């Protein structure tokens, strides 16, 4: 769980040998804070702590109030961070070994039922030494936990939530879940890369709508390169490149997408000139 002071983003990432850990553990609200609730999980810590942060209560007070009202606090593991970077973390005395937490500047790493007691420190060290986007740094922390043996039971699910520095309560930068998988962190890494590709494509859509076709084509191309197995991105990148003036490359991309899924040609016939100005030229070239 962490705050990126450079961007103001807040995030939580988790892996567990429990089905669908994300909805239980990972909570974050744009411009407010983030919460990780673990061990014998009480999901209410998430929204309740965020509500207190939104009311102006700091992380330490918010968590303290919630723990004081919880008769099972000895088996809870909860961490809270606010937009000011203050961290408050609790590992109950009856959490199953190895259990513990390490908090540092703008982050907290906590774990229970670990193979080794070195896991939280390894996570913190990895997070501090990492660079890049918050989602990448959070993932490196989880991978460092695996490097120390991880969950003594094994692994089954993972999740990550990253929210922007400001925006509506529902706003997300990243909201990914691996519900049931033999290698959840590998799958989470794949999904993070795939989301980056779709984010680029979405930005390309906006540029295309604004008439900035060359820039849009570049973003679509980058998106397709990040996700080479996505015929969806290949198709739209082809139309964008055709509209940007590279008809040959655009037609080839659309053709390759149609080889994977012929229904892209069905969709191509349905696209109006307003939606896909280069659509007719691509259709003619494919005939």
Q: Are residues 176 and 257 in the same domain?
A: no
Q: Which position has the token pair 């929210």? A: 163
Least confident range from 25-39, 156-170, 177-191, 214-228: namely: 214-228
Q: Are residues 159 and 280 in the same domain?
A: no
pLDDT for 254-287, tens place per residue? 999 999 999 999 999 999 998 888 999 999 999 8
Q: Which position has the token pair 């705050």? A: 3
Q: Which domain holds residue 88?
A: 2-181
**Is residue 271 a part of any domain in this protein?**
yes
| Cα separation, 197 vs 280, whole angstroms | 26
| Cα separation, 201 vs 233, whole angstroms | 7
Band of residue 221 on the pLDDT scale cut at 50, 70, 90: confident
E-state strands within 5-106: 10-16, 26-29, 33-39, 76-82, 87-91, 100-104
- pTM of model > 0.75: yes
Give the residue with greater pLDDT, 234 vs 221. Answer: 234
Which token pair is 150?
Answer: 């991880």
Q: Are residues 112 and 166 in the same domain?
A: yes
E-state strands within 92-206: 100-104, 107-111, 157-163, 174-178
Reduce the DSSP state of residue 146 to 3 states and report it: helix
Return the H-helix or E-strand segment holding 2.
Answer: strand 2-3
Domain boundary at 158, 181, 204, which?
A: 181
What's the burial of 200, exposed, middle or buried (CB within 10 Å: 0-12/13-18/19+)? buried
Q: Check if the beta carbon of residue 90 is closer than 8 Å to that of residue 63.
A: yes
Q: Check if the beta carbon of residue 238 is closer than 8 Å to that of residue 282.
A: yes
**Is residue 125 a part of any domain in this protein?**
yes
Count of domains observed in the chain: 2
**Is residue 15 a part of any domain in this protein?**
yes
Band of residue 93 on the pLDDT scale cut at 50, 70, 90: very high
**Is residue 188 a part of any domain in this protein?**
no
**Is residue 164 a part of any domain in this protein?**
yes
Reduce the DSSP state of residue 186 to 3 states and report it: helix
pLDDT for 114-158, tens place per residue? 999 999 999 999 999 999 999 999 999 999 999 999 999 999 999
DSSP 244-279: TT-HHHHHHHHHHHHHH-THHHHHHHH--TTT-TTH
Task: Compute the C-alpha angle 205/210/212, nearest 5°.
Answer: 85
CATH number at residue 234: 1.25.40.10
């Amino acid at each position: 769980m962490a705050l990126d002071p450079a961007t103001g983003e807040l995030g939580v990432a988790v892996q567990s040998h429990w089905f669908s850990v994300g909805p239980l553990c990972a909570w974050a609200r744009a411009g407010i804070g983030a919460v990780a609730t673990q061990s014998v999980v009480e999901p209410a810590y998430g929204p309740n702590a965020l509500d207190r942060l939104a009311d102006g209560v700091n992380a330490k007070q918010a968590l303290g109030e919630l723990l004081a009202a919880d008769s099972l606090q000895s088996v809870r593991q909860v961490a809270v961070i606010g937009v000011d970077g203050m961290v408050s973390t609790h590992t109950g005395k009856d959490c199953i070994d190895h259990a513990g937490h390490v908090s540092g500047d703008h982050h907290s790493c906590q774990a229970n039922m670990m193979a080794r007691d070195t896991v939280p420190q390894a996570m913190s060290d990895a997070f501090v030494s990492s660079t890049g986007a918050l989602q990448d740094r959070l993932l490196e922390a989880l991978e460092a936990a695996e490097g120390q043996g991880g969950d003594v039971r094994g692994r089954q699910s993972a999740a990550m939530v990253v929210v922007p520095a400001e925006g509506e309560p529902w706003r997300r930068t990243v909201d990914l879940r691996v519900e049931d998988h033999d290698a959840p962190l590998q799958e989470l890494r794949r999904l993070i890369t795939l989301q980056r590709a779709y984010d680029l494509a979405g930005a390309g859509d906006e540029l295309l709508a604004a008439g900035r076709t060359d820039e849009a084509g570049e973003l679509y191309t980058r998106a397709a390169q990040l996700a080479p197995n996505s015929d969806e991105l290949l198709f739209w990148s082809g139309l964008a490149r055709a509209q940007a003036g590279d008809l040959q490359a655009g037609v080839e991309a659309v053709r390759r997408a149609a080889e994977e899924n012929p229904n892209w040609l069905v969709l191509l016939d349905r696209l109006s000139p307003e939606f896909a100005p280069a659509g007719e030229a691509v259709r003619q070239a494919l005939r």
